[in-house]
Structure 1
Amino acid sequence: MKIEVLENPEQDLIDFLDKKIDDFNWANWEVGERLPLAVQIKNADGEIVAGAAARSFGDWLLLDTLWVSDALRGQNIGSKLLKEIEESGKKRGCVKCLLDTLNFQAMPFYEKHGYKTQWVQQSYPKTGCKYFMVKELF
């Protein structure tokens, strides 16, 4: 056997490895499904101008992304999207929400909405940090 270092691996290899880990996890995890969830806002031309994407599994909602276009920022749109996706998660049985945000992103926004920092990854990727935040969904 030989270990081969690939500086620019093919996407097929990455997909293969991800699938192998997914197969192992699903065979051993206590939940049987992870369901995608999203909310969006479109303008009159049908273009997406804001949205959020998450996954629900077990008791958890994992918020992957929340984005609002520059033109809509400061108009409470992010708060409305966050509330909608949290409510949708609660309807699926989620009792907690987990997210991460970088130091230059939206930590104060999430704190305003009841999220608490559980862990900070310092020096990420060099001099910044990443906040892992959790909220109980009541």
Structure 2
Amino acid sequence: MFRIEAEVDKGRRDLLRKRLRETNTAASPVLSALRGTPAEREAPLHVWALDGEGGLAGGLVGHTWTSWLHVTYLWVDARHRGAGLGSRLLARAEHLARTERACTASRLETWDFQAPAFYEKQGYEVVGVVPDYPPGVTEYLLAKRLR
């Protein structure tokens, strides 16, 4: 007999994530060969741009896992767009991922109204498309080999 619940529970979420990673690692020869636990192989990577007063002009939030950089958020304040700041933030994150964390590739998701063309100019290629997610919008998965 099971009881099914639908509630936000960060402790259970973390336990589920841990157990899923352990299962995946045990089932994958590639993941099993990597040093450290799954949690040890994932590390946050943040890059910030501050204006002259120390305010947030832009930033990139992501993490590295195995040999990949995953860009979660990249944002530049409207006052600073068009000046190359987004390119500089992304390039810095890629450089850190490649040189300090031995990453060989990067991935990210973006919507059609955001920045797919920007990322393509930075060398990313569309590797997946999810139409109507959310309704009326197309989501793109892009990837890039880091050299």
Question: TM-score when scaled to structure 2?
Answer: 0.83
Higher mean alpha-carbon deviation, 27-36 vs 112-121, is at 27-36
Aligned to 2:48: 40
What's the CA shift string for 1:98-123, capped at 9, x where partnerless? Answer: 10001110000000111001110111
* Larger proportion of helix: 2
Aligned positions of 1:1-138 closer than 5 A: 1-4=2-5, 6=6, 9=7, 11=8, 13=9, 15-28=10-23, 29=25, 30=31, 31=34, 32=37, 33-91=41-99, 92-138=101-147
Q: Which amino acid aligns with 1:115?
A: Y
Quote the RMSD (CA, aligned, Å): 1.5
- 1:107 and 1:23 map into 2 onto residues whose CA distance is 32
Cα deviation for residue 21 of structure 1 reads 2.1
Unaligned runs of 5+ in 1: none
* Residue-by-residue CA offset, 1:8-44 (whole Å, 9 max, x unaligned): x3x4x2x133212221134242253200011101122
Distance 2:95 2:137 in 1: 32
Matched to 2:90, the amino acid is L
For 2:72 and 2:79, locate their aligned partners in 1 and report how far apart those are by CA, in whole Å: 22
The count of aligned residue pairs is 132
Q: Amino acid of the residue matched to residue 101 of structure 1?
A: T
SS of match in other structure, 1:114: coil
Q: Residue type of the partner of 1:19? A: D
- Name stretches of at least 5 consecutive residues in structure 2 with no aligned partner: 26-30
Task: Give the secondary-structure state (helix, strand or coil) at the position aligned to 1:128.
Answer: coil
Identity of aligned residues (%): 29
Q: TM-score, normalised by structure 1?
A: 0.88
Q: What is the CA-CA distance between 1:2 and the residue it aligns to?
A: 3.9
